[in-house]
Each structure stands twice: as C-alpha cells, then as structure tokens.
Structure 1
Amino acid sequence: MSDFSKALDVTVSGLKAQSQRLRHVSENIANSDTPGYRRKTVSFESEYQTGANVTRVETGPVRLDQSELERIFDPSHPLADESGHFQGSNVNLLIEIADAREAQRSYEANLKMFEQARQMSSDLMSLLQK
C-alpha cells in the first residue's frame, strides 16, 4: 500500500467517524423534546491495521448519557404522575450545537487532508509522465 493510499485510508476513516458522530448529534437534537429520551454519545478508538501499517479512527459503542432526566411540571401531560411532573430528556441543545460544530470542523479538516493527498498523488503522476 503506497503512502498516498495510507493517507487516504486514514482520512476516510476520520470522515466516517465524524459523520457518524454528527448523525447521533442530530438524533439528540431531534429528540430533545421526547419524554424519557437519553442523550447518545459516541467515542473514538484507534484501530491499527497490521498489514497496512496504518492506524485508523473507528467509532466505539454508542452510550446513553446517564445524567438525570429533567423533571417537567405539566399536570395536563399524559405521562405526568400524581404530583404533575414527568421526565423530560437530558439533551442540552447548547452542548449538542457545540458538538455538531466540532464534528463539522473535524470533518472539514479530514476532507482537506483527503483533497491534499489526492492532489499530491495527481501531481506526482503528472511529473512521472513527463
């Protein structure tokens, strides 16, 4: 495997990991008003490929945030208990927007690296053809 292929492989793994992270962030935002919904988080792990001598980024298991659910007072809600409270979600929109922005910037950085490796490979082929 050439160095260009290795670089492309690493950046592609980063692109996939950040897109999966962004998917979970968007699910959290979409379910922020769902009663009892727990925020999903994803971690990143490095995966070493022995034959290719490359370390790639992989997403770890999806975990549910175990922080306390918000208690909301609304006696008219169908899920309300005798005191008029029900459990909301533990999604904080400010945190989710910050996570989405970070995932977007990481995705863009990986995309830029992919484009640069592809351009260098193309330039090298042009030089070799002369």
Structure 2
Amino acid sequence: MSLVNIFDVAGSGMNAQTVRLNTTASNLANAQTASSSIDQVYRNRQPVFAQMQQQAMDQGSWGQEDGFGWEDEASGRGVQVLGIVESDSPLERRFEPDHPQADEEGYVFYPNVNPVEEMTNMISASRSFQMNVEVMNNAKQMVQRVLTLGQ
C-alpha cells in the first residue's frame, strides 16, 4: 500500500462513520415516537459495511505491487456502505388507553430503539471518525517530510 492510498482508506472510513452517526442520530430522534399501527412505527436502522477491494478504488491495479514492494491482492483498501437495513426485532407495545394514538384495544406501538445501545454506537462512531482524522494527519506529515528530504 502506498502512502497516498492511506488517504483513500481513511477517507472511506470517515464516510462510513458519518453514515453510522447519521443513522444513530435518526434512531435516537425517533426513539419515543408513538404509533397506533404496527406498520407505521419507526424501526431501528443500522448501516451495513463491506470491505472495499483495491480494484474498486483505482480501477486496474489489481495484483500490482504496493508501495513497499510486495503484492497485496487480497487486502481491503477501505470500507463501503452497502446500505441501511431495518431491524426485525420486536416492537414495544404499551398499554396506554388515554394516549391519542392508542388503537381500539388501548395499545400504542413504540420503536425497537435501545437508547443506551445507540449512544454506545454514537461514541464508537465518533471515536472511529477521530482515529481516521489522525491517520490522515499523520500521513500528511509523513508526505511533507518525504518532500523535504531532497532539500
């Protein structure tokens, strides 16, 4: 892996963590939204990530030597967001007959969002984003030092 590829890897990681943070924020914002119908209830959403191969990132250097002189065909070169999926865990059904959105039986449906789990995801995504920023800063400093070697 060349030093320049580090920017691509860290950038894709930052993009993935941004999607994760936005999804978590959406889950937390809708954690207490009530509905009278099970079909209209907000469901917990989570992003799905996959390893991005070198071929997908630079279209054509698959199997070539990396910057250190060895071939690196199978290693990933970043992360991509495959999509966002809804959780199929059961929804919360509460008996609240005085609630304006209660159904005929007096039940209100709430999302299957666990705020503690979402806050943990938010902290983890934030720290991962920060680590990718640090990787980019360190790589930038290394490139700057390499450029000054010839002076």
Q: TM-score, normalised by structure 1?
A: 0.91
Counterpart selection for 2:123 from 101, 104, 113: 101
Say how many residue pairs are matched.
128
1:5 — aligned with what?
4
Deviation at 1:105, TM superposition (A): 1.1
Structure 1 residue matching 2:101: 3-state secondary structure: coil
Deviation at 1:52, TM superposition (A): 4.7
Q: For 1:3-42, what aligned pairs fall within 5 Å after superposition? A: 3-35=2-34, 36-42=41-47
Counterpart selection for 1:67 from 89, 93, 103: 89
Structure 2 residue matching 1:18: 3-state secondary structure: helix
Kept in 2, the 8 Å contact 1:4–1:118? The answer is no
- Percent identity between matched residues is 33
Structure 1 residue ranges without an equivalent (≥5): none
Q: TM-score, normalised by structure 2?
A: 0.79
Q: Name which of structure 1's ranges 12-21 and 80-89 shifts more when overlaid on structure 2.
A: 80-89
Deviations 1:17-72 (A, max 9, x none): 00110000000001111121101001210111323556220012100011111012
Deviation at 1:79, TM superposition (A): 2.4
CA distance in structure 2 between the aligned counterparts of 1:87 and 1:66, rounded to whole angstroms:
14
CA distance in structure 2 between the aligned counterparts of 1:27 and 1:52, rounded to whole angstroms:
38
Q: Which has the higher helix share?
A: 1
2:140 paired with 1:118: yes
CA distance in structure 1 between the aligned counterparts of 2:90 and 2:101, rounded to whole angstroms:
17
CA distance in structure 2 between the aligned counterparts of 1:105 and 1:44, rounded to whole angstroms:
17
CA distance in structure 1 between the aligned counterparts of 2:61 and 2:85, rounded to whole angstroms:
30
CA distance in structure 2 between the aligned counterparts of 1:99 and 1:91, rounded to whole angstroms:
12
2:70 paired with 1:48: no
